[in-house]
Amino acid sequence: MSTLILKFGGTSVADADAIKRVADIVRTQRAAGHRVVAVVSAMSGVTDALTRGVRAAVSGDQSVCRDVAHEILLRTAEACSQLVPSHKEREALLAGARKIMAGYESVCQSVLVLAEVTPRVLDRATACGEPLVASLLAAHLRTLGIESRAIQAEDVVVTDDTYQNAAPLLDETRSRCAHQLAPLIAQGMIPVIGGFIGATLSGVPTTLGRGGSDFSAAILGNALAADEVWIWTDVDGVMSADPRLVPGAKVIPVLSYAEVGELAYFGAAVLHPRTIRPLMDEHIPLWIKNTFHPDVEGTRIESDSSPIRGTLKAVTDVRGLSLITVEGRGMLGVPGIAARTFEAVARCQANVLMISQASSEQSICFVIPSRDVACVQASLEQAFALEIARREIDRVGTLDCVGIVTALGAGMRLGVAGVTSRLFTALDAQDVNIIAIAQGSSECSVSIVVQEQDVERAVLAIHEEVIKQ
Ligand code: ASP
Ligand code: MG
User: What range defines the domain where residue 190 resides?
Assistant: 3-234
Ligand 2 mean position, distance from CA 392 (Å): 47
Residue 245: inside a domain, yes or no?
no
Name which of 376, 322, 318 is nearest 347 in CA terms: 376
Note the pTM of the prediction, 2 decimals.
0.89
* CATH number of the domain where residue 24 is located: 3.40.1160.10
**Mean pLDDT to the nearest integer, 15-22:** 98
Query: What average pLDDT does the structure give for the chain?
Result: 93
* Cβ(210) – ligand 1 distance below 6 Å: yes
What does the pLDDT look like over 402-453, one tens digit per residue? 999 999 988 887 655 677 888 889 999 999 999 999 887 677 888 999 999 9
- Give me the pLDDT at residue 263, please: 80
- Give me the pLDDT at residue 358, please: 73
Whole-number percent of the chain with pLDDT over 70? 96
| Pair 226, 319 in one domain | no
278 touches 222 (CB < 8 A): yes
Ligand 2 mean position, distance from CA 218 (Å): 13
Residue 35: inside a domain, yes or no?
yes
Residue 275 confidence (pLDDT) above 80: yes
* CATH number of the domain where residue 450 is located: 3.30.2130.10
Nearest CA to ligand 1 atom 2: 211
| Pair 206, 342 in one domain | no
What does the pLDDT look like over 346-366, one tens digit per residue? 999 999 999 988 766 788 999
Residue 93: inside a domain, yes or no?
yes
What does the pLDDT look like over 179-214, one tens digit per residue? 999 999 999 999 999 999 999 999 999 999 999 999
| Pair 324, 426 in one domain | yes
What does the pLDDT look like over 218-273, one tens digit per residue? 999 999 999 999 999 999 999 999 888 999 999 999 999 988 888 866 666 778 88
User: Ligand 1, residues 213, 219, 272: which to mutate, most atoms within 8 A of Cβ?
Assistant: 213
- Give me the pLDDT at residue 312, please: 86
Q: Final residue of a domain: which of 234, 266, 290?
A: 234
| Pair 43, 149 in one domain | yes
By the 10 Å C-beta count (0-12 exposed, 13-18 middle, 19+ buried), 109 is classed as middle
Residue 459 confidence (pLDDT) above 70: yes
Considering its fold, how many domains does the chain have in total? 2
* Cβ(131) – ligand 1 distance below 6 Å: no
Nearest CA to ligand 1 atom 8: 211
Ligand found nearest the CA of 235: 2
| Pair 201, 324 in one domain | no
Residue 259: inside a domain, yes or no?
no
Residue 277: inside a domain, yes or no?
no
Closest ligand 1 atom, residue 42 Cα:
1
- Give me the pLDDT at residue 305, please: 64
Residue 98 to residue 323: CA distance in whole angstroms: 50
Burial 34-58 (b: 16+ CB within 10 A, else e): bbbbbbbbbbbbbbebbbebbbbbb
Residue 189 to residue 182: CA distance in whole angstroms: 10
* Cβ(277) – ligand 1 distance below 6 Å: no
Q: Final residue of a domain: which of 184, 212, 234?
A: 234
**Mean pLDDT to the nearest integer, 133-155:** 98
